[in-house]
A and B are shown apart, each in its own frame.
Chain A
């Protein structure tokens, strides 16, 4: 499942997309994010899935444009830490 967390508002689309078929719930992305945007737990949208899965915490879902902003400078942007540590490449950002 492609889980889109985030929102669209008048200024643009801000979604972190987690491919739950690729995600194995290893949890490496959780400490990699300097702002605690990601967490690993029960898959809320698939009641029959047993393994844990990465997701964007409820707290950050409605403000990820700002939560993720420090990792997205206009110049000299480094690879995003969450995407960089993810071995199965399950995480993408829409902006």
Chain B
């Protein structure tokens, strides 16, 4: 079978040295996105484990799979979780969630935890949408914008280019810098038109790296326009799958003139992490602790 260049690896992680049995609150966030699904399990507000898988055609099944993968070999079962929050596109289709909260709220909360309370502007570059969020020091959303009508500036757009250029998706970021000088961005914002434009450039004899550089900078330009609408304030962070693509992130930084904060965890878990944090807060509210 021919190699599928867009296919990114699924993963899971467990924090070393946390005994979940002595934890008072076990909360979980399940983010069923359009392309990937994540589960984050927290023990008393500390990340205990997380998983990141591809979303299939069946949202409930994807949620279950992501949960099974996160809980693998940890000994935790679904019954041990005190509260689970569902988020993302498939949030209403998480069978074991106690509550659904939008990904906007969850991303802000998750990024606030991941990058610290100084983060104000969050750009989530998801599988099929792009969100620009402004939040306060508590991770509460103060301004947001979501573009889910157009795939420009999303992970899916990058996957299309991985396939077109036969470059594994993980290598796209670094390869996009292997150009002598930065080419002009492709002029189309639409992924479908950008792909036709790229085919034309390849036919003209442009090397793959140059085409990739032209697409990455078009993508960066596109999302900066979205950010400008909500206003850009320091500190700034990028979450979602594209945050792993330095080719896009560095071009966004160059356009904005500010550096993005460095992530400590998988950037794709921000939504699920926010869900788990809300879950913890909701348990505390139930128990009358706050």
Contacts and interface: CB of A to CB of B under 8 A. Distances in A.
B102 A45 contact: yes
Contacts of A10: 150, 189-190
Contact of A45 (B99, B144, B189): B144
B12 interface: no
A37 B131 CA distance: 22
A45 B135 CA distance: 12
B226 A1 contact: no
A86 B95 CA distance: 39
B144 A1 contact: yes
Interface string B218-247: 000000011001100000000000000000
Interface string B137-169: 000111111111110000000000000000000
Contact of B230 (A2, A9, A47, A62): A2
B101 interface: yes
B190 A4 contact: no
B145 A4 contact: yes
A62 B141 contact: no
A47 B149 CA distance: 25
Contacts of A62: 148-149
Nearest to A44: B102
A46 interface: yes
A10 B187 CA distance: 11
Interface string B191-225: 00000000000000000000000000000000001
Interface in A11-50: 13, 15, 44-47
B142 A4 contact: no
B47 interface: no
A6 B140 CA distance: 21
B193 to A, nearest CB: 8
A8 B150 contact: yes
A8 B225 contact: yes
Interface in B72-105: 99, 101-102, 104-105
B278 A2 contact: no
Contact of B141 (A13, A46, A94): A46
B6 to A, nearest CB: 24
Given A2-B142, A2-B230, A15-B229, A8 B102 contact: no
Nearest to A14: B149
Given A2-B230, A15-B229, A7 B105 contact: no
A47 B105 contact: yes
Q: Which of B99, B104, B146 has the most CB of A within 10 A?
A: B146
Given A10-B190, A46-B105, A47-B101, A4 B144 contact: yes
Interface of B: 99, 101-102, 104-105, 140-150, 189-190, 225-226, 229-230, 278, 282
Interface of A: 1-4, 7-10, 13, 15, 44-47, 62, 94
